[in-house]
Amino acid sequence: MSDEGGAGEPLSDRQKREIATWFLSNAPAGEIHYIAKDVRALLGNDAVYEAAAAEAFPEYNKARLVSIELPDRSGDIIISTYGEIDKNNYLDPRTAQVATIDHMKQTCTKLRPAEDEELPSAYIEEFRCALDVELSKYVSEAYPKGACAVYCTSGKDIEGPGADFSFAAVISAAKRSPQNFWYCLVHVFCLFLVPEEICHIFLNLAHMDQLVLLCVIIRLKNLIDPFQPLRPFRHLPILCF
């Protein structure tokens, strides 16, 4: 809290907004709407809540790479800084569309075709599309309910060989089991400049998947026996890391 004002003085609307913004921005993954409901009730002031939510939700969605289904069912769009056109509009490079996002509801309210200046050149798109195809294959096997995208982060207007360009590959996947008190969240960022790096990145991803699976198996095996007698009476965590 701020040191402004004496002890016992009520908080100003600005102070309330700052506190509410902090709680919303630091909500656990997948829990922001539950936190928002409580924050709104505690504030008792819709104007202050709306101001805090308008600031916190966009940053929360970008930081956690929230994926949102497109209304035409062509796939999911990932809310990330790589595809951000402005605060409410995000590029989906796979479908070459721009989605208008309602951050508080975490829904897409409108779609439009991307303009030429928002898209990479045909030369760059050929590379981006090839990477996207391979990344999609990987994600469909490793994270069946996950979303992925490949963005051109520099050099998107290059028309031919001879200049450097770079891409960012983003994977977002989540699975919740509130009754068993666990939440698995996967975020992957990969930046690469040359084709040789691409193979190395995908091999590393596959290796990390194997390590995570091994960790899950070991943890689950260690937890099942001690907690087995208790599980009929209440839901207990089965996985923590």
pTM of the model: 0.74
What is the total count of domains within the chain?
3
**pLDDT tens digits, 100-118:** 999 999 999 999 999 999 9
Within this chain, do residues 55 and 82 fall inside the same structural domain, yes or no?
Answer: no
Above pLDDT 90, what percent of the chain? 51
Within this chain, do residues 82 and 172 fall inside the same structural domain, yes or no?
Answer: no
Would you list the DSSP string of 30-69?
T-HHHHHHHHHHHH--HHHHHHHHHHHHHHHHHHTT-EEE
CATH code at position 218: 3.90.1150.210
Domain that includes residue 27, residue range: 13-63
Is 238 contained in some domain?
Answer: no
Within this chain, do residues 109 and 189 fall inside the same structural domain, yes or no?
Answer: no
CATH code at position 86: 3.30.1140.60
Q: What pLDDT is stored for residue 36 in this prediction? A: 95
Decide if pLDDT at 10 tops 50.
yes
Within this chain, do residues 140 and 212 fall inside the same structural domain, yes or no?
Answer: yes
Within this chain, do residues 198 and 103 fall inside the same structural domain, yes or no?
Answer: no
Tokens representing 90 are: 């995000």
Is 236 contained in some domain?
Answer: no
Decide if pLDDT at 84 tops 60.
yes
Q: Is the pLDDT higher at 16 or at 30?
A: 16
Is 79 contained in some domain?
Answer: yes
Q: Which of 80-94, 100-114, 159-173, 221-235 has the lowest mean pLDDT?
A: 221-235
Q: What pLDDT is stored for residue 196 in this prediction? A: 53
Q: What pLDDT is stored for residue 237 in this prediction? A: 40
